[in-house]
Amino acid sequence: MNAFVELRFEGPCAFLTLKRPDKLNALDRSMIDALLESARAIDASTDMRVAILSGEGKAFCAGGDIAAWGDLPPLEMWRDWTRAGHRALEALARLRVPLIVVLAGHALGGGLELAAVGDIRIAESGVKLGLPESGLGMAPGWSGTQRLVRRFGASIVRRMALAGAVFTAEEALTLGLVDEVVAKGKGASRAHVLAADIAKRGPLAVQMIKSMINAAEGEDRDAPIEGLAGALTAYTEDLAEGRAAFRAKRAPVFSGR
């Protein structure tokens, strides 16, 4: 996988951890690729019912490592760095199973964009959240002006992205940026309890509910709609008749059942 991105499976839960605390878990290109690979591995495991994403140290994630992108020419910045980040974050947002994000440290810039892919965010007291990119003369690049607006509302994103507002965990809770605030050091244990609660429920129902909520939110709208339609028709008499007619090289006689 990657020295700075750890994925492990324990029972029905996948644990995905950023492990670059000396750099505040800032993401380089290899870490972005590892996040994409991890999302694919979680989706490929039919035993998984829930996933937890967290970061080691005093920051959840400080965003993209400026050393990785700061000197890229404009076209390479778009073609390689920005698009790679989008692929990884979209794969995490569209995981088949619910994703719980634990913010035991600050989530800034691309770190907040990464946190936003979760279905549930648990923040520890003292954590700060913001989009500081405009202070560097740049714009959010990993859906900060898109997914964050859809999930949290334009007015909140404007305050962060345009004015540089940074919110505490408690302020973020009132604004809907996070779902729960717990005492420092309690984020992981709370996430484990919540993951166990999710894992007890009907896995197919949970996955379909997540998919439909994503569609309602504008996250991967086409695949959930077509997936549900495909599942509905998969066990109909009409499909059985269509397959039989194809094999027999005859015209099908559909019953509407």
The mean pLDDT of 131-160, rounded to a whole number, is 93
For residues 120 and 226, membership in a common domain is answered with no
For residues 95 and 213, membership in a common domain is answered with no
For residues 106 and 224, membership in a common domain is answered with no
pLDDT over 70 at 73, yes or no? no
Structure tokens at 182: 């717990």
Q: Is 124 noted as a catalytic residue in this protein? A: no
Alpha-carbon distances, residue 224 vs 91, 94, 218, 231 (angstroms): 14, 10, 11, 10
Q: What is the pLDDT of residues 164-201, one digit of tens each?
A: 999 999 999 999 999 999 999 999 999 999 999 999 99
Mean pLDDT, all residues of the chain: 91
Q: Evaluate whether residue 253 is within a structural domain.
A: no
Q: How many domains does the chain have?
A: 2
Q: Is 133 noted as a catalytic residue in this protein? A: yes
For residues 104 and 142, membership in a common domain is answered with yes
CB 96 within 8 A of CB 43: yes
What is residue 220's predicted lDDT score, i.e. its pLDDT? 74
For residues 112 and 162, membership in a common domain is answered with yes
What's the half-sphere exposure (Cβ side, CA atoms, 13 Å) at 179?
16
For residues 74 and 181, membership in a common domain is answered with yes
Q: What is the pLDDT of residues 203-246, one digit of tens each?
A: 999 999 999 899 888 887 666 677 767 777 777 888 888 889 88
Least confident of 56-70, 110-124, 189-203: 56-70
Our measurement of the distance from residue 37's CA atom to the centroid of its chain's CA atoms, rounded to an integer in Å, reads: 13
For residues 118 and 234, membership in a common domain is answered with no
Where residue 107 sits, what CATH number does that domain have? 3.90.226.10
Other C-beta atoms closer than 10 Å to the C-beta of 89 total 22
For residues 56 and 89, membership in a common domain is answered with yes
Q: Rounded distance, CA 163 to CA 144, Å? A: 14
For residues 210 and 105, membership in a common domain is answered with no
For residues 153 and 223, membership in a common domain is answered with no
For residues 146 and 103, membership in a common domain is answered with yes
Integer-rounded Cα Rg, in Å, for the chain is 21
Domain range for residue 48?
5-200
Q: Evaluate whether residue 176 is within a structural domain.
A: yes
Q: Evaluate whether residue 60 is within a structural domain.
A: yes
Q: Among residues 56, 124, 133, 237, which one is catalytic?
A: 133
pTM above threshold 0.75: yes
Q: Evaluate whether residue 64 is within a structural domain.
A: yes
For residues 123 and 219, membership in a common domain is answered with no
Q: Evaluate whether residue 256 is within a structural domain.
A: no
**Alpha-helical segments (H) within 94-202:** 110-115, 147-152, 154-161, 169-175, 187-200
Q: Among residues 6, 10, 76, 113, which one is catalytic?
A: 113
The mean pLDDT of 123-139, rounded to a whole number, is 93
